[in-house]
Structure 1
Amino acid sequence: MIYPVILCGGSGTRLWPSSRRAYPKQFVSFDGHQSLFQNVLSRLSGPEFDAPIFLTNEDFRFLVEDQAAALGLSDGRVILEPAARNTAPAILAAALSLEEIPDALMLVAPSDHLVHDTQAFLDAVAVGAKAAQGGELVTFGVVPDRPETGYGYLRLDAAVVSGQPTPLAEFCEKPDKARAVKLLQDGNVLWNAGMFMFRVRDIIAAFEEHMPQMVAPCRAALSQGETDLGFFRLAVDPFEGIDPISIDYAIMEKARNIVAVPLEADWSDLGSWDTLHATLPLDENKVAQVGAATAIDCQNTLLRSEDSNIQLVGLGLKNIAAIAMRDAVLVTDMERAQDVKKAVGVLKVNKVAQAEDYPRFHRPWGWYETLCLGDRFQVKRIMVKPNGILSLQSHVHRSEHWIVVAGTARVTVGEEVNLLTENQSVYIPLGAVHRMENPGKVPMYLIEVQTGSYLGEDDIVRYEDVYNRG
C-alpha cells in the first residue's frame, strides 16, 4: 500500500486576492467544484492507497478535516506542525510516524497543484512505486512544453523516456529565460513537480546520512507530541529548534539513489493568474470568464468575479487578469502575474487588512463575515455547521443582537437556554455569559448586530470551548 503524505500548511500569495494567508489557494475552488486540496485527495483515494497523512498547522486543521469529510474521507491522520519549517522536517516527521512499517511506500504531494489526467498520474505513480520498492528515492517531473522561468528543473543523466525512471543528474533552480531555452533544447530535463516517493526505511536512512542533526529533534517532536481532538500535535520545543530547509536541499541534491519519473498528466502548479488562465475553458479570443463576469472585445484575458453581486465587465482588454472579490480587486498585466506577491508585500507594509485576512473567517464551528462596519457597530452573517458549538463566552465592550434567518439555534444567555427558529431573535447584554450552537441537521444562519465601544475579535473571555482554543 502507498501512504499519501499531503503537505497542506503553506500560504502562498501569488493568487491574491483569492489566496491569502488566512485562506490559501489549496482550500480554494477554482473550478466551482472541488478545492485543489480536495482534487489531490480524490486522486489519492483509490484502492492502491492507504489512509492519507496530512501535514498542516493550527490555522488550517479544521479546514483540512472539513474538506476531507466533504469527500467522505475521515480516516486520515492530521499532524500539526507548531512552526513553519519547510518541507524536509515535515516529510521526516511523517516518515518517522510510519517507522514501524519500514517497507511502506510514501507518496509526498503538495496540496495546491492541479492534475487534469488522473489516469496518467496514477500510471506515473505505478512506475515510481516499482523504483521505490527497489530502494530508489523517486522524484516526479513534468515534461516541459515551453521554456518556463517559474519552475525549477530536473536535469537527467539521459534523455527523457515516457514511463521510465531515469537517474537524476542535478536539480536546477528557476532559470532566467536564456537558461530555460537552453535547458529545453538539451532535451533531458523535466519541470520539478515537488512530488516524491520512497520507502519509509530509505528516506529515514537518507536523513540519517545527509541531515543527521534533524533526526533527533524530529523523533522528540513525535515522542513528546500529543493527540488533541483527533489531531496529532508535534511537540513545540524540539520542532521549533529545527532549521527550516526544503527536501530538495536537505536530501534530494545530496543523495545518490535518485531517479526521476516523467509525469505527463496535464499538470499545473497554479502558481500565478496566467497559469490558471491557461487551464480554464477559453473562447476563440483566449478569454476566460468565471463567475459574474462579462468580456466585450477582449483578448487573452481572465475575468473572475467571486461574488455573485459584483458584476465584473471587461471592455477592450488585452493580456489582462482581473479578479474581483467583495473586499478586494486585482487588475494585472498577464506578463506581471508572477509579481502579484510584490503587491501583497506593499499592502502588508501599508497595514492593509486584505493583504492577509479573508472576507470570510473560517472557524471550527463554521464561518462568519462582516456585512457592515461602523465606529460603534458591526453587522455579521454567521453560519454554524450541524452540531457546531461556539465557546461559552462574554464580552467586555459590546452587546449583541442575534436574528436567526435559517435553521435552528440553541442559545444560552446566563442560566437561560432557548431554541430559536427563523425570524426569532435574542439580545445579549454587555458582559452576559452566552453561547450559540446548532442542534439541527442543516446549517444554521443568523445575523449578528454588535454595538459597543470596541468591536475587535480579541474582546472574548472564554469559559469553555469544545475546540480547546485559548
Structure 2
Amino acid sequence: MILPVIMAGGTGSRLWPMSRELYPKQFLRLNGDQSMLQDTITRLADLNVSEPLLICNEQHRFLAAEQLRQINQLSNNIILEPMGRNTAPAIALAALSSTKNGDDPILLVLAADHVIDDIVSFHNAVHAAVPLAEQGKLVTFGIVATGPETGYGYIQRGDSFGDSAFNVKRFVEKPDLPTATEYLASGEYYWNSGMFLFSAKRYLEELGEFRPDILAACQLAIADVKIDSVQDFIRVDLEAFSACPDESVDYAVMEKTTDAVVIPLDAGWNDVGSWSALWEVNEHDDNGNALTGDIFTHKTTNCYINTDDTLVAAIGVENLVIVNTKDAVLVIDKSQVQDVKKVVEFLKSNDRREYRVHRESYRPWGRHDKVVDAPRYQINRVTVKPGGKFSLQKHLHRAEHWVVLSGTAEVTLEGKTYLLTENQSTFIPIGSVHMLENPGKIPLELLEISSGSYLGEDDIIRLKDHYGHC
C-alpha cells in the first residue's frame, strides 16, 4: 500500500498579500474550487493509496485539520512540527510513525503546494515507480523541462534503469541562465520536483547511514509521541525535535545514496512560486487576462487580477499583477514579481501585522473577520461552526457586546446559561466569566463589539480551554 506523505510546512511569502505567515499558499484556493492542499490529496483518488499523512507547522494545525475535514480525510493523521527543520527530518517523522507496528509502507512524498494538470501522466509515473521502490530504490520524479528555468534545481540522469527510469548521476543547484540553457539543450537534465517514492524502512536505512544525527533526533522526538484524539494531531517532543539539524532530503540522502533513480514526469507541473507562475496556470480570457473575483477590464491585456470581495476596475494596463485582499492591495509588473519579498521584508521590519495574518482568520471553532480595528474598540464578524465553542474565559480590560445575525447562540455568563437567536444580543461586562457555543446545526453568525482600554489577545484569561490556547 502507498502512504501519501504531504509536506505542508512552508510560508509562501512570494504570493503576498494572499499568502501570509499564518495562512500560507498551500491553504489557499488559487487554481480552482479547492485549496492547493486539498487538490494535492484529491488528485490521488484513483491511486491505490491509504489515507494521507500530513506534516505541518504547529501554528497551522487548525487550518490544516479543517481543510482535511472538508474532504473527509481527517483521522488522527496530522504530524505537527514544533518548528521547521526542513524535509529530511519531516520525512523521517513520517517514516518512523508508519513503521512503529512493523509495517513498511511505500511513502509517496509530495509538496502540498504544486499544480499538476495531467493527472493520468502523474498516476502513470507513480505506478512505474512502485516496483523500483520495492527493489530498494529511492525514486525521485524529474520534471521534463520546458525552458531554461533558473529558479529550480536540476537532476542529471545517468544510465537507463528499466523501461521508464534512469540512475541519478547528480543533483545540481539553481543555475544561471547560460548554464540552464546548456542543461536544456543536452536533454539529460530535469527540474527537481521535490517529489519522491521509497519504502519507509529503506529511507530510514539511508538516513542512518549518511545522517545518523538527524535519525537519532527524530527517533527521540517521536519515541513518546502524543496523539490528540480530539483534535486529530500527532505531537512530537519539542526539546528533541528542536535539537534536530535543519537539512533537506536532497542533501541528507538523495545526493549521497547510490540507489537514487529518476523517473521523467511530463504532467503540466508547476510549483506556483510567483504571481507570474499563477497567471500561467490559470485560464485566460481573450485578452490573456486571468481574472478572479468582481472585476471590470477595458483595454487590459495579459494581467493577473484577483480580488476578495470588492470591485477592481483595470483600464489601459498590461502585464500587471493586481491582488486585492481585505486589508492590502498589491500592484506589480509581472516581470518584477520576485520583488514581492521586498514588501514582506518591509512589513516585518516595521512589525506590521499584514505580513503575518489576514484581516479574517480561522480558529478551531470557526473564523472571525476584524471589520473595525480602532484604538479603544473593535468590531468582529464571527462565525461559529455547529458544535464550536469559545473557551471559558474572562477579560480584565474590555467589555463585549454580542449581536446574533443568524443561527442560535448558547451563552454562559457568570454560571447562568441562556439562548440567543437572530436579532437578539447580550452584554459581557469587564471581568465576567463567559463562554459561547453553537448548539445548532447551522453556522452561528454574530457581531462581537469589544471596547476598553486594552484590546490585545493576551487579555484573554482562559479558565477552561477546549482547543489548546485558541
Alignment-derived partner of residue 135 in structure 1:
136
Task: List per-residue Cα deviations over 1:201-237 (Å, max 9, x = no partner).
Answer: 2101100111011122211111122122331100011
Higher mean C-alpha displacement, 141-150 vs 233-242: 141-150
Q: Is the 8 A contact 2:213 2:245 kept in 1?
A: no
Task: List per-residue Cα deviations over 1:329-377 (Å, max 9, x = no partner).
Answer: 1111111112212221122112221111111111111111111122211
Q: Is the 8 A contact 1:295 1:303 kept in 2?
A: no
- SS of 1:238's equivalent? helix
- SS of 1:73's equivalent? coil
Q: Distance in 2 between matches of 1:71 and 1:181?
A: 42
Alignment-derived partner of residue 343 in structure 1:
343
- SS of 2:342's equivalent? helix
Alignment-derived partner of residue 375 in structure 1:
375
Q: Distance in 2 between matches of 1:341 and 1:3?
A: 35
Alignment-derived partner of residue 279 in structure 1:
281
Higher mean C-alpha displacement, 1-10 vs 67-76: 67-76
1:322-341 superposed matches below 5 A:
322-341=322-341
Q: Is the 8 A contact 1:327 1:359 kept in 2?
A: yes
In structure 1, the gaps of 5 or more residues are none
The alpha-carbon deviation at position 158 of structure 1 amounts to 5.0
Alignment-derived partner of residue 111 in structure 1:
112
The alpha-carbon deviation at position 68 of structure 1 amounts to 1.1
- SS of 1:313's equivalent? strand
Q: Is the 8 A contact 1:110 1:195 kept in 2?
A: yes
- SS of 1:214's equivalent? helix
Q: Distance in 1 between matches of 2:109 and 2:218?
A: 18
Q: Is the 8 A contact 1:413 1:434 kept in 2?
A: yes
Q: Distance in 1 between matches of 2:347 and 2:159?
A: 46
1:399-418 superposed matches below 5 A:
399-418=399-418
1:7-26 superposed matches below 5 A:
7-26=7-26
Q: Distance in 1 between matches of 2:65 and 2:285?
A: 37
Task: List per-residue Cα deviations over 1:422-446 (Å, max 9, x = no partner).
Answer: 1110000011000011111111110
Q: Is the 8 A contact 1:411 1:435 kept in 2?
A: yes
Q: Is the 8 A contact 2:149 2:177 kept in 1?
A: yes
Q: Distance in 2 between matches of 1:268 and 1:25?
A: 13
1:25-424 superposed matches below 5 A:
25-46=25-46, 48-75=48-75, 77-99=77-99, 100-158=101-159, 164-228=164-228, 229=230, 230-307=232-309, 310-424=310-424
Q: Distance in 2 between matches of 1:276 and 1:325?
A: 16
Question: CA 1:76–1:146 in structure 2 vs 1: closer, same or farther (change >3 Å)?
Answer: farther
| Matched letter for residue 255 of structure 1 | T
| Matched letter for residue 108 of structure 2 | L
In structure 2, the gaps of 5 or more residues are none
- SS of 2:451's equivalent? strand
The alpha-carbon deviation at position 104 of structure 1 amounts to 1.6
> Size of the alignment, in residue pairs?
467
Higher mean C-alpha displacement, 40-49 vs 362-371: 40-49
Q: Is the 8 A contact 1:394 1:460 kept in 2?
A: yes
Task: List per-residue Cα deviations over 1:119-152 (Å, max 9, x = no partner).
Answer: 2111111111121111110001211111111211
Q: Is the 8 A contact 1:407 1:421 kept in 2?
A: yes
Q: Distance in 2 between matches of 1:168 and 1:90?
A: 23
Q: Distance in 2 between matches of 1:279 and 1:336?
A: 18
The alpha-carbon deviation at position 294 of structure 1 amounts to 2.1
Question: CA 1:274–1:207 in structure 2 vs 1: closer, same or farther (change >3 Å)?
Answer: same
Q: Distance in 2 between matches of 1:178 and 1:303?
A: 33
| Matched letter for residue 200 of structure 2 | V
The alpha-carbon deviation at position 4 of structure 1 amounts to 0.4
Higher mean C-alpha displacement, 281-290 vs 194-203: 281-290
* Regions of 4+ moved over 3 Å: 100-103, 158-161
With structure 1 as the length reference, what TM-score do the two structures score? 0.96
Task: List per-residue Cα deviations over 1:166-213 (Å, max 9, x = no partner).
Answer: 111111212221111111111111111110010112101100111011
Question: CA 1:160–1:271 in structure 2 vs 1: closer, same or farther (change >3 Å)?
Answer: farther
Q: Distance in 1 between matches of 2:136 and 2:304?
A: 45
Q: Distance in 2 between matches of 1:284 and 1:181?
A: 32
Q: Distance in 1 between matches of 2:198 and 2:176?
A: 31
Q: Distance in 2 between matches of 1:96 and 1:423?
A: 53
Cα RMSD between the aligned structures? 1.6
Q: Distance in 2 between matches of 1:155 and 1:334?
A: 30
Q: Distance in 1 between matches of 2:177 and 2:16?
A: 25
Q: Distance in 2 between matches of 1:87 and 1:71?
A: 25
Q: Is the 8 A contact 2:411 2:434 kept in 1?
A: yes
Q: Is the 8 A contact 1:115 1:267 kept in 2?
A: yes
The alpha-carbon deviation at position 102 of structure 1 amounts to 4.9
The alpha-carbon deviation at position 390 of structure 1 amounts to 0.7
Q: Distance in 1 between matches of 2:109 and 2:71?
A: 20
